[in-house]
Structure 1
């Protein structure tokens, strides 16, 4: 069971609360097939899931980076509702945590308009008191800035919080901000890879948080 002082849980969005993996992969392949025909296959873009788009595309073609981001986002927006789903036990877990009085927030590297689409599609938006997006910070995860901003907005201390995510950027951002951390075993990159970064907890399903927090 976790520290009794924990009263705040922060979540990554993509790959943690909602399954956007197929949308992200399709968006990357659509863009890369245009700018780099025949060069990238599905397995090649898996490492791109998690880091900010600028970091990925600038490493591929710095001169065309802004164009590539625009194409990615347009495709991602158009295909969003068709390809995005919610992970098992997410809604029920958020509902139980909220009823138990936990402060809940999202810390994501997505832009706010796309975040809002995902929250509306799955109906989980009302559970969160704060949502920190890429629009809100200068330094995205793994920098601690977005986690610290969410904690300030929730009037929480790092020692009172857990950062939950599917990517090492989430784990490191939590560690860098001084929170506890939880990885999710359903990460598309593999639980073993995420475990290498030593999160405090590894969730097999989201409802494991209820046992960790002592809610159930």
Structure 2
């Protein structure tokens, strides 16, 4: 992984509409950005940790697990049990999915306005495609996204630029006109590595102060703030 992927290869924070004047394409992360899967993810990790490491992990311990693919997280714990732990996590996650996933305020209205204003949009996620589509459909926002780049479509995942580049290619977009929106450092660094503008979301479970370390171009307090920054509200 390059220094740029690990470090702060970004532009300064500018909370003004001018920074996004030329944007016509929005790439969204999914979990923790468009749909609230945080309780589901944390519950799934806690369940898995309790199976393999009884009594060792609490909520605050597994928050750091959020962002990378499961394989990367579980490899750090036990390389010999990655597949086993992944299956334990996914079985619980699937069982509890519809019960624990909720919507974020302002997301539906924002997507509707972006569609009306002819913005190109895609999902770029480290989830498997099947699970990503399940969440999009549950929240009723699948109709906005013909392009979904999931873990299944890439060799390298965020912060590597590959998934963002695939999304832009599918949409006929260019980095200079694209914004990456996400709740983790992987989204911000992925955008920077792909040459796009970047937006962090203040409702990230890791907090806006943490995300600001990675120097996103803007920080959104509510998804509807995006409309202001794009000059359409």
Q: TM-score range by the shorter chain?
A: over 0.9
Tell me the equivalent position of 1:74.
91
Partner residue, 1:83 = 100
> TM-score, normalised to structure 1's length?
0.99
* Cross-structure match for 1:4: 21
Query: How many angstroms apart in 2 are the aligned matches of 1:194 and 1:66?
Result: 30
Give 2:47's aligned residue: 30
CA positional deviation for 1:5? 2.2
Number of positions where the alignment pairs a residue of Structure 1 with one of Structure 2: 216
Q: Which residue, out of 50, 54, 59, partners 1:42?
A: 59
Corresponding residue for residue 68 of structure 2: 51
- What does residue 195 of structure 2 align with? 178
Partner of 1:17: 34
1:116 Cα deviation from its structure 2 partner: 1.1
- How far apart are the structure 1 equivalents of 2:146 and 2:114? 13
Please tell me whether the aligned partners of residues 29 and 124 of structure 2 are also in contact (alpha carbons under 8 angstroms).
Answer: yes
Q: 1:38: how far off? A: 1.0
Deviations 1:52-79 (A, max 9, x none): 1011001001110110001101110110
Q: Would you say 1:93 and 2:104 are equivalent positions?
A: no
Unpaired runs of at least 5, structure 1: none
In structure 2, what is the equivalent of residue 134 of structure 1?
151
CA RMSD of aligned residues (A): 0.7
1:113 corresponds to 2:130: yes
User: What is the Cα deviation at residue 35 of structure 1?
Assistant: 0.7
> In the TM superposition, what whole-angstrom CA distance separates every residue of 1:108-165 from its partner, at most 9, and x where no partner exists?
0000111111011100011113110000001010111000000000000000100000
Structure 1 segments of 4 or more deviating over 2 A?
2-5
Relative CO higher for 1 or 2, CA cutoff 8 Å, sep ≥ 6? 2
Question: Unpaired runs of 5+ in structure 2?
Answer: 1-16
> 2:182 corresponds to which residue?
165
**8 Å CA contact 2:34, 2:104 repeated in 1:** yes
